[in-house]
Amino acid sequence: MAPPFEDIVIVDLDVQKTTWSRVHSAMRTLYLRLNRDPDIAWNKFFFEERNARVEVKRHGLWIEDGYIVFDCLLIDVDSHHLPDIRRSIAYANERSLELRESQREEREQLKAKARDGKLGPADMSGGCFSISSLGGIGGTAFTPIVNAPEVAILGVSKSSMKPVWDGKAFVPRLIVPLSLSYDHRVIDGASAARFAAYLAQLLGDMRRALL
């Protein structure tokens, strides 16, 4: 379950990062620290609101590493820049929450379709990775074919109990055969092998997924 949406707010003005502006000798470059680093969608909404009303557009203001950075005259900070920036922040928070709710509703609809066996080709397109399971049929392994334009697919076969040597004796272990196919034009073989090994570690001890 996804964590609840957290509004982005200004924490403080980082005076230690304040520098003279490269735009004008009378200006300063100020750094407003945010409570978290915005994602791409939030940044898009932030500048969408600003670009609709601010003539300078992006010039003189940018976002980097959890800061809103802008050039200004210090006398204008409280009266102009902070109210202006907070307006864009409020808009970006509202739109981001709407987007998150829309995505959640879409996921729930897809989950319901999947449970009812009603997923269509359009519902399963647009991704980059698929999982194909033949566990209900049987077999020990198979070669899943990548669904272009996706770049990889994981095949899961039927699990079974197998004797595994632990260094002292054979112990019963539940083994799940995994078959990973990938497009070598996009994915390096060593990276694919590390992914498969890491996935096997997680499945071998699900406590690792909580770390």
Give the pLDDT band (50/70/90) at residue 2.
low
Q: Looking at residue 40, what is its pLDDT?
A: 92
Question: Which domain range does residue 152 map to?
Answer: 127-210
Asked if residue 164 and residue 106 are part of one domain, the reply reads no
Asked if residue 161 and residue 105 are part of one domain, the reply reads no
Number of domains in the chain: 2
Asked if residue 131 and residue 91 are part of one domain, the reply reads no
Name which of 119, 120, 118, 196 is nearest 152 in CA terms. Answer: 196
Q: What is the pLDDT of residues 8-26, one digit of tens each?
A: 999 999 999 999 988 788 8
Domain end point (choices 58, 84, 114): 114
Q: Is this prediction's pTM over 0.95?
A: no
Extract the tokens encoding 191: 């990276």
**147 CB-contact burial (10 Å; exposed 0-12 / middle 13-18 / buried 19+):** middle
Domain end point (choices 87, 114, 141): 114
Catalytic residue among 24, 59, 81, 184: 184
Q: Is residue 50 part of a domain?
A: yes
Q: Looking at residue 187, what is its pLDDT?
A: 92
Residue 80 annotated to the active site = no
Q: Is residue 1 part of a domain?
A: no
Name which of 72, 82, 95, 79 is nearest 7 in CA terms. Answer: 95
Asked if residue 93 and residue 155 are part of one domain, the reply reads no
Give the pLDDT band (50/70/90) at residue 118.
confident
57 has a pLDDT exceeding 60: no
